[in-house]
């Protein structure tokens, strides 16, 4: 069973919510940020540890701007948080930066997840919410273009989200 915050159930979200990547500043982008903030702890469990820590430090809006700017690239993370602020326009506290560096290789080069990868994780959460709200498989096929096999595999994979199985990652602490 997924833990949700607020009353934003699947049925209250627009049908086309996760059919296309939202344009920054569009109404769909604003709704996506709102959806993420309301369901923050749940969504952070499906993000890579690096991304979950970053969201915990800067919030979803700044996180998505960072991903849109640097996603899909190898990015160098300087040794100091203030250098990171200047170089990457990513303003983190020293404590948050130290926590983030734990998930970055020793050469401080990180393959930043692409915006499509992050969006896919959010979409997956949305599909799981639909399953838990009792939406028929046929409706999920239609809305998301997913196959029967995808839903079977998704049901088998639950309830063990990726980040909750990784040592040292506690989404509530981010």
Convert the pLDDT of each residue in 9-31 to its tens digit: 444 455 556 666 778 888 888 88
CA atoms within 13 A on the CB side of 5: 12
CA 125 to chain centre: 9
Composition of the chain by helix, strand, coil, percent to 5: 55, 5, 40
* pLDDT at position 18: 66
Confidence check: pLDDT of 35 > 50? yes
Q: Which helix (H) or strand (E) holds 109?
A: strand 109-111
DSSP conformational letter for 95: H
* Mean per-residue pLDDT over the chain, rounded: 79
* pLDDT at position 74: 93
* pLDDT at position 19: 64
Convert the pLDDT of each residue in 64-108 to its tens digit: 999 999 999 999 998 888 888 888 888 888 888 888 888 888 899
Phi, psi of 15 (to 5 degrees): -60, -35
> Whole-prediction pTM value?
0.75
Please report, for the chain, how many H helices and E strands are present, in that order: 9, 2
Please give the Cα distance from 129 to 9 (Å, whole number).
Answer: 7
Residue-range domain boundaries for the chain: 24-162
pLDDT-derived band at 138 (thresholds 50, 70, 90) equals very high
Q: Which helix (H) or strand (E) holds 140?
A: helix 137-144
* pLDDT at position 10: 46
141 vs 159 pLDDT, higher one: 141
């Amino acid at each position: 069973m997924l833990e949700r915050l607020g009353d934003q159930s699947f049925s209250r979200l627009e049908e086309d919510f996760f059919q296309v990547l939202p344009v920054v500043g569009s109404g769909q982008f604003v709704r996506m940020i709102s959806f993420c903030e309301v369901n923050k702890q749940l969504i952070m469990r499906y993000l890579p540890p690096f991304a979950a820590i970053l969201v915990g430090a800067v919030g979803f809006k700044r996180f998505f701007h960072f991903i849109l700017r640097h996603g899909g690239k190898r990015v160098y993370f300087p040794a100091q948080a203030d250098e990171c602020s200047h170089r990457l326009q990513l303003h983190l506290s020293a404590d948050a930066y130290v926590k983030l560096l734990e998930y970055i290789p020793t050469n401080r080069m990180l393959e930043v997840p692409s915006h499509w990868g992050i969006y896919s994780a959010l979409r997956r959460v949305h599909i799981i919410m639909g399953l838990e709200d009792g939406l028929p498989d046929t409706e999920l096929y239609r809305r998301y273009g997913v196959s029967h096999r995808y839903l079977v595999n998704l049901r088998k994979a639950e309830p063990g989200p990726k980040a909750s199985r990784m040592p040292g990652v506690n989404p509530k602490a981010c």
